[in-house]
Amino acid sequence: MALMKVKIGTRKSKLALWQANFVKEFLEKYWGVEVELVKITTTGDKITDVSLAKIGGKGLFVKEIEKALLEGYIDLAVHSLKDVPMEIPEGLTLGAITKRETPYDVLISRGGKKLSELPSGAKVGTSSLRRQVQIKKRRKDLRVEVLRGNVDTRMRKLKEGTYDAIVLAYAGVKRMGYLDEVTEILEEFIPAVGQGSLAIEIREVDRKIEELIKPLNHKESYISALCERAFLRELEGGCQVPIGAFAEVKGGEVRLKAFISDLEAQRFIEGQDIGEVQKAEEVGKRLADRLLNMGGREILEEIYSSQ
Is 299 strand, coil or helix?
A: helix
Q: Where are the beta strands (DSSP E) in the chain?
A: 5-10, 34-39, 76-80, 92-97, 105-109, 123-126, 143-146, 165-169, 184-186, 198-203, 243-250, 253-261, 268-276
**Residue 182 · residue 6 · CB < 8 Å:** no
For residues 90 and 88, what is the distance between their CA atoms, to the nearest angstrom? 6
**Residue 256 · residue 283 · CB < 8 Å:** yes
Residue of 75, 83, 164, 262 marked active site: 83
For residues 77 and 74, what is the distance between their CA atoms, to the nearest angstrom? 7
Residue 83: active-site member: yes
For residues 77 and 160, what is the distance between their CA atoms, to the nearest angstrom? 35
Task: Supply angle C-alpha 187, 254, 172, rounded to 5.
Answer: 40
For residues 267 and 299, what is the distance between their CA atoms, to the nearest angstrom? 8
- The catalytic residues are 83
